[in-house]
Amino acid sequence: MTYILAIDQGTTSTRAILFDRDMQVAGTAQQEFPQYFPQAGWVEHDPEEIWSSTLEVCRRVMADRGATAADIAAIGITNQRETTVVWDRDTGKAIHKAIVWQDRRTAAICEDLRAAGHGDLVHRATGLLLDPYFSGTKVRWILDTVPGARARAGEGGLMFGTIDSFLIWRLTGGASHVTDATNAARTLMYDIRNGGWSAEICKILDVPMDMLPEVKDCAAEFGTVQAEVLGGEIPILGVAGDQQAATIGQACFEPGMMKSTYGTGCFALLNTGDTPVDSRNRMLTTIAYQLDGKPTYALEGSIFIAGAAVQWLRDGLGIIASAQETGGLAASADPGQDVILVPAFTGLGAPYWEPDCRGGMFGLTRSSGPAEFARAALQSVAYQTRDLWEAMRADWQEAAGDTVTLRVDGGMSASDWTMQSLSDILGAAVDRPVMQETTALGAAWLAGMKAGLYPDQAGFAATWARDRQFTPAMEAVQRDAAYDRWKRAVQAVIGV
């Protein structure tokens, strides 16, 4: 068997990537799918469109490469996290569109739970905050809103899953209702210290526990794809949420190693080893990966809008035709203008956790134009990353020195201008790897390692290679002044 098939189910598109025996990309297929915005702050996907896009890209990449199911040793799955699907156990059909991680409709539920005094319990058990970002309150909203859902759930007729669970259920013909520890850790219902679903939290959320999937290691036997789906049976042997998969793909296996992924949002994870670190600065404590029954923990900071700010320039304002134009446009901006964009289009994530605030643009002049808007959009990613960087280093003293290097990936990391800006604002080195497909690679390595095709952790880490290192070119005084302007702008949008 020659290949590992990685399914990378993201927020705006689904991709399938074939990796060969040397963990190199042998073929790729990608398909975008629609985004639904029923009202302000709500974001949905159609699970059937996600399923059909998954089938399409898997079949296409196999056909393009001339590969059959017999050529594929295993499948690894990585997915947009927190996005919530509830489906009927008998029909396999979702009872409501998937509620996406960006969705803010459950802000009032979260506020009620905080007011009832449940915040500390939830944080202690899950490492998370009571925020609409996570799956638990989304499940509750679906059960409370869809007619007949509560009764059907009471009969044991409904199932909950993040996207990985839903895809595995479909791929295996309903034989496997499973997830992995990294996805479970993002639901608001999983006790990351005790390694199991929290009955107490499920009771608080009014979510029946028989809706929940079985939780496995990231490298495990998740089920077998039915022969009629891809032309033959293929085992599913690796699963990780997208940000954890990127952490694995970046070989951040040692405590103190940090990665940041720049996609629709931005997510930074700092490996803290076998000890969960309680954040004093509103970072999340989460599971980086779990192998052989042993969890490795991380501090995580989540930025809701990163690449989505560039999409806004393209689709909302119409000032660029493609994302690739942004770096060059930003480089041409007037250096005398200090335009700052706070892209709180769906609220602010870490370390602020302000779901109700909205974005703002500051420092505009009569001559501000597309170039200044582009620069502000890209710099907003650097400023938000520094917010996370400062909070994590304050939480975990082992990361407080100046020697920490950030490994980056995701679509925006391909922009030299953006990565140089990131290094300048952080005042730290930024490493971009040769292998840009780190998220898919992480899922592929999990499956390939479990299948015996790929090396162990140490062997895999030895294959990591740097494409380019970006080092700060901005004076500290200028850097700190720019960051102060950013912090004032953030406080302004929070105060509105």
Q: Report pLDDT digits (tens) over 40-49.
A: 889 999 999 9
Q: Which of 243, 268, 295 is the last residue of a domain?
A: 243
What is the 3 state secondary structure string of 416-435?
A: HHHHHHHHHHHCCCEEEECC
Does the structure show a pLDDT above 80 at 33? Answer: yes
Same-domain status, 323 and 470: yes
Query: What confidence tens digit (pLDDT) does each residue in 358-368 have?
Result: 999 999 999 99
Assigned domain for 387 exists: yes
pLDDT mean over 410-434: 92
Residues 46 and 85 sit within 8 Å (Cβ to Cβ): no
Alpha helix locations (H) across 66-106? none
How would you classify the pairing of strands 406-409 and 258-262?
Answer: parallel
The pLDDT assigned to 405 comes to 72
Q: Which of 198, 220, 243 is the last residue of a domain?
A: 243
Q: How confident is the model at residue 12 (pLDDT cuts 50, 70, 90)?
A: confident
Residues 82 and 160 sit within 8 Å (Cβ to Cβ): no
Does the structure show a pLDDT above 60 at 403? Answer: no
The pLDDT assigned to 394 comes to 86
What does the DSSP 8-state code read for residue 441?
A: H
Closest CA to 425 of 438, 439, 399, 406: 406
The residue written with tokens 């420092």 in the block is 363
Assigned domain for 233 exists: yes
- The mean pLDDT of the chain is 93
Assigned domain for 441 exists: no
Q: How confident is the model at residue 337 (pLDDT cuts 50, 70, 90)?
A: very high
Does the structure show a pLDDT above 80 at 375? Answer: yes
In a 10 Å sphere around its CB, with 0-12 CB exposed, 13-18 middle and 19+ buried, how is residue 401 labelled?
A: exposed
Same-domain status, 73 and 174: yes
Same-domain status, 109 and 228: yes
The residue written with tokens 């009032």 in the block is 108
The pLDDT assigned to 131 comes to 87
Whichever domain contains 171, its CATH number is 3.30.420.40
Q: Which of 202, 223, 243 is the last residue of a domain?
A: 243
Instruction: List the domain range (segments joined by +) for residue 376.
Output: 251-433+465-496
Same-domain status, 419 and 389: yes
- Which region, left, alpha or beta, applies to residue 147 given φ > 0 means left and ψ of -120 to 50 means alpha? beta
Same-domain status, 95 and 147: yes
What does the DSSP 8-state code read for residue 233?
A: -
Same-domain status, 238 and 90: yes
Alpha helix locations (H) across 365-472? 370-395, 416-426, 438-451, 457-461
Assigned domain for 460 exists: no
Residues 158 and 92 sit within 8 Å (Cβ to Cβ): no
Query: What confidence tens digit (pLDDT) does each residue in 244-290 have?
Result: 999 999 999 988 888 998 888 888 999 999 989 988 888 899 999 99
Same-domain status, 222 and 309: no
Does the structure show a pLDDT above 60 at 402? Answer: no
Same-domain status, 158 and 262: no
Query: What confidence tens digit (pLDDT) does each residue in 290-317 have?
Result: 999 999 999 999 888 888 899 899 999 9
pLDDT mean over 367-393: 92
What is the 3 state secondary structure string of 153-173?
A: HHCCCEEEEEHHHHHHHHHCC
- Which region, left, alpha or beta, applies to residue 127 given φ > 0 means left and ψ of -120 to 50 means alpha? left
Does the structure show a pLDDT above 60 at 399? Answer: no
Query: On the CB side of 333, how many CA atoms lie within 13 Å of its CA?
Result: 27
For the chain, percent of residues with pLDDT exceeding 90:
78
Query: What confidence tens digit (pLDDT) does each residue in 182-197 have?
Result: 999 999 999 999 999 9
